[in-house]
Structure 1
Amino acid sequence: MHFLIFVMMLLPVGQQSNKRVLTIYAQSDNEPQYKQQIQLFDQDKAGLLERDVVVRTIFYNDANANDFRKAQVKDNFTIVLTGKDGGEKYRSNKLLPLQKLYAIIDVMPMRKAEMRKN
């Protein structure tokens, strides 16, 4: 069983949230890059939870084809990190290793404040 938290709706740009959202756009759950990315996330569930990360997956279908165009999905796979402030923090068409994800998040001002608080 894969560790995923599905978020049904993203906040409008600029609206704050108490979570960081990683959106994965893929053609299907059989997409090799999608499967590999989920396996990477499964390796450190605690690290994702500690950083308030939720994973949202959007699989392509005719109804959301426009969303895929807006997200500029390439090579049947795109991953987008949205910060708690609602702004896009990272985008890639390649796998996102946990170390890289954590490095991106851990330098964010909100994350630094969270680490000081804890």
Structure 2
Amino acid sequence: MRAFLIVALILMTSKLTGQNLDSHKWENRLILIISKTQDSEVYNNQIEEFDTSYEGFADRRLIIYHILPDQYKSVDYQNGKSDNNWTTSSKLFKRYANNQSDFKVILIGLDGSIKLQQDNILTTDKLFATIDAMPMRRSEIKNRK
């Protein structure tokens, strides 16, 4: 019984760290696509907008989180990892959603702060232009040459 409780505690702790976006700080930029429903037209159009920009996302060290009221999943383009399984949790939705909007997109920079948020579709061009104008991104590009 005691071993079962220890294993259960470890499993619960690992789920909680997955919900802590601070673990990405200084490693990845994050896009949060937040919707009250997975069937939302604007949510699905946003996913479609980002669907063909794998190289741009990887180059900019972007991870996308799909966040619904009771679940979330992530896509890490840099490492080619896509979590097709939803994780049950409402913490990210409660932290970042806004009850006045059915949909929201948020860009979080390497420093962990919100750089952009809007309640309509974020185009890939606007996303990349926003990131590419950031000092840390300009430094990344300069150091690559």
TM-score by length of 1: 0.81
> Could you list the per-position Cα deviations for residues 50-78 of structure 1 after superposition, in whole angstroms to 9, with x for gaps in the alignment?
111110011013x6389447532543100
What's the CA shift for 1:43?
1.6
Unpaired stretches in structure 1, ≥5 consecutive residues: 1-6
Q: 1:49, 1:75 → 2: CA distance?
A: 29
Contact 1:19 1:54 in 2 (8 A): yes
Q: 1:67, 1:60 → 2: CA distance?
A: 5
> Could you list the per-position Cα deviations for residues 1-60 of structure 1 after superposition, in whole angstroms to 9, with x for gaps in the alignment?
xxxxxx643118xx8321000011101221111100111111211111111111001101
- Which of 122, 125, 135 is equivalent to 1:96? 122
Q: How big is the alpha-carbon RMSD for the aligned residues of Structure 1 and Structure 2?
A: 2.4
Contact 1:74 1:93 in 2 (8 A): no
Q: Closer, same or farther in 2 for the Cα pair 1:66/1:84, shift >3 Å?
A: closer
Q: Are 1:57 and 2:66 an aligned pair?
A: yes
What's the CA shift for 1:117?
1.2
How does 1:1-118 map onto structure 2 within 5 Å? 8-11=19-22, 16-61=25-70, 64=90, 67-68=93-94, 71-118=97-144
Percent identical pairs in the alignment equals 28
Larger radius of gyration: 2
Which residue identity does 2:118 align to in structure 1?
S
Contact 1:21 1:56 in 2 (8 A): yes
Which residue identity does 2:142 align to in structure 1?
R
Structure with a larger share of its residues in helix: 2
Q: Which has the higher contact order (CA 8 A, sep 6+)?
A: 1
What's the CA shift for 1:113?
0.6
Aligned residues: 110
Q: 1:57, 1:77 → 2: CA distance?
A: 11
Q: 2:21, 2:95 → 1: CA distance?
A: 17
Contact 1:25 1:68 in 2 (8 A): no
